[in-house]
Every structure is written in C-alpha cells, then in structure tokens.
C-alpha cells in the first residue's frame, strides 16, 4: 500500500506521528505540528496544497509534485500550505520530508515495435523483477511477459510481449502483494494499479 502523509506532533516531551484525518483531533488537544512527511502517492492528485520554494531573491509557490524539480535547481522548501483550508507550516527547515511515491503514468505499444510495451512512471523506479505482479492483457486475455527491462531513463520500463495487432485492446495492471516496484530514490513502493489502458500505436498492416 502507498505510504500516507504523516504529521509529526509534539506536546511537552511527547511526540507522535499521525495521519491527516486525525490531525484536527490532536490539535484540539493542544498538540503542535513539528514536521511533516508528505506522500504524493498517499495524497493522490493534490491540486490544493502549495509549497513556498525560495532561492533568493526568487520566491515561488508550487504544487507538491514540483518540489523535487525545484530542489534540484537549488530552491529550498520554506512553507507548506496543506490542503485547501488546512494548516500552514512555516520555517520548515529540515522538518519537511517528501516521500518519492511512484505512480503509473502512461503506457503505449508500437512506437518501438509491436512487441515492446513501454510504461512510464511518475518517478525513477527500481525492482529485482519488473515483471513480478504485472498483468498485461491483449483483448481481455493475459499474455506472457518475455522480459521487463528498465531503460536509461529510469522512469521507463520496456515489457516484451507477443506481437500486438493494430486495433487490439491492451491493458497493464500491477498487484503490490506479488510485485516489488519501488522508488529508486527512497524505496517507497508502488501501490496497486488497476487495469490501465495502453495506447496502441501499432500501425495498420
């Protein structure tokens, strides 16, 4: 299962981690927010939270999904506005962590050739076996995966399957109970992925 966002709360000498749905209860009991580990995978598509990124003299608010890119450019996260009406965490320093939770991005077959299905993930991924836990169906029939290989761009994995015809319906799915695809950056696992449509770019014969 995808790890969830957790708030680090303190009250006197006591401390604990709680998930967002329990935050209001603890705040009402005078617990203070001291930090957060934000999970993109746990939050899903977050279009409300904002992070203030600073690289003097530049200051810009970005969505959480853009934090890694701005950090790579030398920006620092200084403030998190969590949710549409949630708490604002300022002067974060090192107390703001972002879990690099991978997610399925897209998939297509036909660009390389009619046997190579390319899956693109939201972040760089790693696995001992990229085929474990993966089910690929062509016209509602599971097919054998001959190989599964991460590419030089570590967000992309190529799956070699039997030749796919023009117009066939292709899907890709993942079961995290039997598979082990994780973030290559911090090891956070890929959650279950229900059947996803694969764009069929195989040309008509």
Quick one: pLDDT at residue 96?
A: 61
Residues 93 and 175 grouped into a single domain: no
Residues 109 and 188 in one domain: yes
Of the two residues 49 and 142, the one the predictor is more confident about is 142
Look at the chain and report how many structural domains it folds into.
2
- Chain segment 82-113, per-residue pLDDT in tens: 877 667 777 555 556 666 678 888 999 999 99
The pLDDT confidence band at residue 42, using thresholds 50, 70 and 90, is low
Q: What span, in angstroms and rounded, lies between the C-alpha atoms of 172 and 189?
A: 17
If residue 195 lies in a helix (H) or strand (E), which one and from where to where? strand 193-200
Residues 125, 193: one domain?
yes
Q: Domain range spanning residue 74?
A: 6-99
Q: Is residue 205 part of a domain?
A: no
Judgement on whether residues 94 and 129 belong to the same structural domain of the protein? no
Looking at the fold, whether 134 and 188 belong to one and the same domain comes out as yes
Is 119 in the same domain as 79? no
44-48, 57-61, 120-124, 172-176, range with the lowest pLDDT: 44-48
Does residue 89 share a domain with residue 136?
no
Strands 193-200 and 104-109: parallel
Find, among 180, 181, 170, 178, the residue nearest to 142 by Cα: 170
* Secondary structure class of 94 (helix, strand, coil): helix
Average pLDDT over residues 193-200: 96
Single residue among 77, 99, 121 that ends a domain in this structure: 99
């Amino acid at each position: 299962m995808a790890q969830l966002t957790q708030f680090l709360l303190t009250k006197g000498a006591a401390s604990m981690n709680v998930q967002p749905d329990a935050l209001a209860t603890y705040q009402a009991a005078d617990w203070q927010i001291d930090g957060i580990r934000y999970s993109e995978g746990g939050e899903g598509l977050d279009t409300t939270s904002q992070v203030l990124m600073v690289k003097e003299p530049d200051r810009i608010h970005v969505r959480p999904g853009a934090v890694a890119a701005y950090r790579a450019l030398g920006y620092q996260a200084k403030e998190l506005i969590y949710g549409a009406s949630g708490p604002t965490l300022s002067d974060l320093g090192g107390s703001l962590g972002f879990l690099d939770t991978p997610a399925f991005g897209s998939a297509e077959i036909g660009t390389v050739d009619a046997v190579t299905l390319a899956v693109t993930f939201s972040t760089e991924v790693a696995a001992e076996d990229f085929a474990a836990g993966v089910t690929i169906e062509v016209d509602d029939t599971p097919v054998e995966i001959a190989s599964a290989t991460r590419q030089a761009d570590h967000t992309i994995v190529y799956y070699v399957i039997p030749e796919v015809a023009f117009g066939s319906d292709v899907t890709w799915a993942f079961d995290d109970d039997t598979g082990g695809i994780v973030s290559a950056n911090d090891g956070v696992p890929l959650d279950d992925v229900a059947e996803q449509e694969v764009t069929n770019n195989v040309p008509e014969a």
